[in-house]
Structure 1
Amino acid sequence: MHTIHVNRIEEMYQHPDIALAIGFFDGIHLGHLTVINKMIEIAEEKKLKKAVMTFDPHPSVVLNPEKKRTDYLTPLNEKKRIFESLGVDYLFIVPFTSKFAAMAEKDFIRDYLTNNHVKEVIAGFDFTYGKFGKGNMLKLAEDRQGFNVTAVSKKAMNNEKISTTDIRRMLTEGEVLKANEQLGRPYKIAGIVVQGEKRGRTIGFPTANVMPDEDYVMPKLGVYAVTLKQVATGETFKGVCNIGYKPTFHDPSKSAVSIEVHIFDFSESIYGERVEVFWHEFLRPEQKFSGIDALIAQINLDKGQAEEILRDIDRSSVL
């Protein structure tokens, strides 16, 4: 996949004719995949290259600073990886700046679509563009210059539109199963295994302390059944994870949130390695225990519950 960070508009134009899916695509959930798959279908039918245009940062950073979104279900590098795995040929990353937000609708059409060798535009029914977001899919079809327009209708689940906003809410409320259902895969946070306090090994439960390498949406604090993938080897292991402040040992007001995974039947040192944590099910909220014995007893219960949940998990099913 050829990735183009659009610092100058002319940088986009050196490629063959394309079918282009447009959107922010945070999460690349089942609704987004409907758009991407439609683009792929049209590109293959029309013998066009497959392309996606996305934006960075989230438009709210410019348009609504008081409620700006700076953490993501799929940060930029994760988006790139998923788009490449889907067979996208060209990825255009457009800086969402004040100047871009104020662009006239027809200028957007000319500079980012017509002059960009776009022959097919595919986007969700609610995609907007141009100053004040006045351009929409109906208007794009009316004002198009040299390309066709396909608006993809909403993707619903249980009679509700699948949306990034809802998935974010589900994760922060511990509703991981529902979030994963709308994503179409387990939620994932990638990062590096770093040195921790090494307290877990002293009580029989060594953990991998994972520091996220991008700005991910953090799930509700608590304990989860997870799988962990070593990126270098491709191996995936089952485990139980605590995300939180470890209140039995720390004052939450003076501590940072940590992600610690106890990997079942695993004794290797993986410090410095990049790993991916897949969140399968919320077990319980984080809590402060009266002492080490009570903590160990609860961890044993958590481990048993996680093993039961993960028993039928297909390790190859995680992306």
Structure 2
Amino acid sequence: MKTIHTNQNLEEMYNHPDVALAIGFFDGLHLGHMSVINKMKTIADSKHLAKAVMTFDPHPSVVLNPEKKRTDYLTPLDEKKRILEAQGIDYLFVVAFTSRFAQMEEEDFIKDYLTNNHVKEVIAGFDFTYGKFGKGNMLKLEADKQGFNVTVVEKQELNSEKIATTQIRNALVDGNIIEANTQLGRPYKISGLVVQGEKRGRTIGFPTANVAPDESYVLPKLGVYAVTLRRTGSDQVLKGVCNIGYKPTFHDPAVSAVSIEVHIFDFAESIYGERVEVFWHEFIRPEQKFNGIDALIAQISQDKLTAEQLLADISLD
């Protein structure tokens, strides 16, 4: 997949064949987003066009609504790239959402980013908007199109509710991993680097991999989870129990940073410095402070047993 970042010289991004283009912010690449992507792929194959996606960075709220700006994501840009590449996308256009871009007139967006960009088919969700003040919508795009066809993908629902990034974010913050995963169509994932931690876990019989996210992900509710972990470059799925939080038994949450620590079952290798993916499957309990080491060990033992039972039928191979 070739990634093309836009800049002031837009002609630099025009060096590619004719494309079918799915367009949207696509944070999460959830089931609703995938309906747009899959529709684009079907059209591209039928018309012998390259498969392309256009997304924006950062989230438009950073420019349009600073008081409620979104700076953490279900799929930060690099994560989005990995997922789209696995989907067989040929070109990813990353449009810098700046104040200048936000002021662009609708007809200029159509000309510069679609018509001149060799786009022959545009596929987007029913609620996609563009141009200054977001006045352009899919009906207007159909009316004003220049050299391309327009396909609108209608609202995608699950249990009579719209599948939406906001719903998934809220579910994660509430610890409702099952709901979030259902709307995503896959387990929520956080990628990161295994870094040196305090190594306290190994002294109490539960060594952990301390995972530092490499991008600004939405973090699930603090607590204990049944998770799986995959090392970069490996197809092997490792099962484990994860604590995300401040470790209040040992630290003051007011001055500590959130950590993600995974105890991997039946695993003794050192993986410091390796990049891993943590898949979140089910919430077990909130984080809590214990009166002593013995109480903590007893609870971790129970958490491990619970996670093993929850993950018994899980496989990502």
Q: How would you bin the TM-score normalised by the shorter chain?
A: over 0.9
1:3 paired to 2:3:
yes
Q: CA deviation at 1:201?
A: 0.5
**Which residue number in structure 2 is paired with residue 265 of structure 1?**
266
**Which residue number in structure 2 is paired with residue 238 of structure 1?**
239
Q: Counterparts of 1:196-275 in structure 2 under 5 Å?
A: 196-275=197-276
Q: CA deviation at 1:235?
A: 2.0
Q: Secondary structure at the match of 1:66?
A: helix
Report the AA paired with residue 6 of structure 1.
T
Q: Counterparts of 1:1-319 in structure 2 under 5 Å?
A: 1-7=1-7, 8-316=9-317
| Residue deviations 1:176-223 (CA, integer Å, cap 9, x gap) | 000000000000000000110100011100000000000000000000
Report the AA paired with residue 218 of structure 1.
L
Q: Distance in 1 between matches of 2:115 and 2:254?
A: 54
Task: Tell whether the 8 Å contact from 1:232 to 1:273 is kept in structure 2 after alignment.
Answer: no
| Residue deviations 1:247-298 (CA, integer Å, cap 9, x gap) | 0111110110000000000011110000110000000000001111111111
TM-score, with structure 1 as normaliser: 0.98
Q: CA deviation at 1:315?
A: 2.6
Q: Secondary structure at the match of 1:252?
A: coil
- In structure 1, the gaps of 5 or more residues are none
Q: Secondary structure at the match of 1:77?
A: helix
- In structure 2, the gaps of 5 or more residues are none
Alignment RMSD (CA, Å): 0.6
Task: Tell whether the 8 Å contact from 2:237 to 2:315 is kept in structure 1 after alignment.
Answer: no
Q: Percent of pairs identical after alignment?
A: 76
Report the AA paired with residue 3 of structure 2.
T
Task: Tell whether the 8 Å contact from 1:26 to 1:74 is kept in structure 2 after alignment.
Answer: yes
Q: CA deviation at 1:11?
A: 1.7
Report the AA paired with residue 19 of structure 2.
I
Task: Tell whether the 8 Å contact from 1:232 to 1:274 is kept in structure 2 after alignment.
Answer: no
Q: Secondary structure at the match of 2:254?
A: helix
Report the AA paired with residue 255 of structure 2.
K
Q: Distance in 2 between matches of 1:188 and 1:82?
A: 11
Q: Distance in 2 between matches of 1:273 and 1:5?
A: 28
Q: Secondary structure at the match of 1:228?
A: strand
Q: Distance in 1 between matches of 2:314 and 2:13?
A: 42
Task: Tell whether the 8 Å contact from 1:230 to 1:275 is kept in structure 2 after alignment.
Answer: yes
Q: CA deviation at 1:12?
A: 1.7
Q: Distance in 2 between matches of 1:173 and 1:230?
A: 28
Q: Secondary structure at the match of 2:206?
A: coil
Task: Tell whether the 8 Å contact from 2:73 to 2:217 is kept in structure 1 after alignment.
Answer: yes
Q: Distance in 1 between matches of 2:117 and 2:269?
A: 50
Report the AA paired with residue 169 of structure 1.
N
Task: Tell whether the 8 Å contact from 2:243 to 2:260 is kept in structure 1 after alignment.
Answer: yes
Q: Distance in 1 between matches of 2:12 and 2:287?
A: 49
Q: Distance in 1 between matches of 2:248 and 2:241?
A: 18
TM-score, with structure 2 as normaliser: 0.99
Q: Distance in 1 between matches of 2:150 and 2:116?
A: 16
Report the AA paired with residue 230 of structure 2.
K
Report the AA paired with residue 216 of structure 2.
D
Q: Secondary structure at the match of 1:189?
A: strand
Q: Distance in 1 between matches of 2:218 and 2:20?
A: 31
Q: Secondary structure at the match of 1:294?
A: helix
Report the AA paired with residue 193 of structure 2.
I
Runs of 4 or more consecutive aligned structure 1 residues displaced over 3 Å after TM superposition: none
Kindly tell me the number of residue pairs found equivalent between the two proteins. 316
Task: Tell whether the 8 Å contact from 2:168 to 2:180 is kept in structure 1 after alignment.
Answer: yes
